[in-house]
Structure 1
Amino acid sequence: MAQFRSKKLDLGCFINPKIIRDHTKRKTFEQFEPQRQALRYLIRNTSLPDWVRTKAQFELRNMHCYTRPTQIKNRCIMGGLARGVLRKFRMARFQFRMNALDGTIPGVKKASW
């Protein structure tokens, strides 16, 4: 009988498939970033032989797409929306407004003048 281990996501928010995928992409990118930087250094180093640079290009091209920084998208941690996300708070505009009005975001209050 196979035993399955459940990995716990350290998100602390509402979880939907888009958020899980984004979390997976971020973890994969973080894990493979040093290897990508090393390969990119080899490719750009013109003093190396051509076969070494070509091999590095081949390895970099064959890495999983989740290791690329362009795959990471800013998503709202509350609802998973990808548009209108405030980077500092990682929330969509509407969620930010609702939380700010409720007073759940420290240091944020409605402006009045």
Structure 2
Amino acid sequence: MTNIRVLRDIAARKGVKAHEVVRRAYLACARNQTLEPQIRYQAQLQLNNFGRYSRPTTVKNRCTISGRGRGIIGEFGLSRYSFRMKALAGELPGVFKASW
């Protein structure tokens, strides 16, 4: 069963990806000091009309198994504990237990 936090994070990532180009264009217009104030104001209004999942700050690295938001190993997308359990079970390619 998939954790609701993971589903929410997936939705946020899809929304950010879908609106990234237009959002960056409006942001560039809003920050451009050489443009007229009215144009900059309209760009700022358009930025405010975007939904919740169009902002890149809503994306958070989460474990794809447990939904945990802390201690994420980014290369695998797993939390420390989930990574350890999968590595010990031999389910991660190229990851082996160290032998000192």
- Bigger fraction of residues in helix: 2
1:64 equivalent to 2:27? Answer no
Q: How much identity, in percent, do the aligned residues show?
A: 42
User: What residue ranges of structure 1 are gaps of 5+ in the alignment?
Assistant: 1-13
1:39 equivalent to 2:31? Answer no
After TM superposition, the structure 1 = structure 2 runs for residues 1-113 of structure 1, keeping only pairs within 5 Å, are: 14-113=1-100
In the aligned structure 2, how far is the partner of 1:60 from the partner of 1:30? 15
In the aligned structure 1, how far is the partner of 2:7 from the partner of 2:93? 26
Which stretches of structure 1, 4 residues or more, deviate above 4 A after TM superposition? none
Give CA-to-partner distance per residue, 1:37-87, whole Å, 9 cap, x none. Answer: 000111122221110001101111221121111100101011111111111
In the aligned structure 1, how far is the partner of 2:37 from the partner of 2:51? 24
> What is the TM-score when the length of structure 1 is the normalising length?
0.83
Q: For residue 4 of structure 1, what is the aligned residue in structure 2?
A: none
Aligned CA-pair RMSD: 1.0
SS in 2 for 1:58: helix
In the aligned structure 2, how far is the partner of 1:66 from the partner of 1:101? 36
Alignment length (residue pairs)? 100
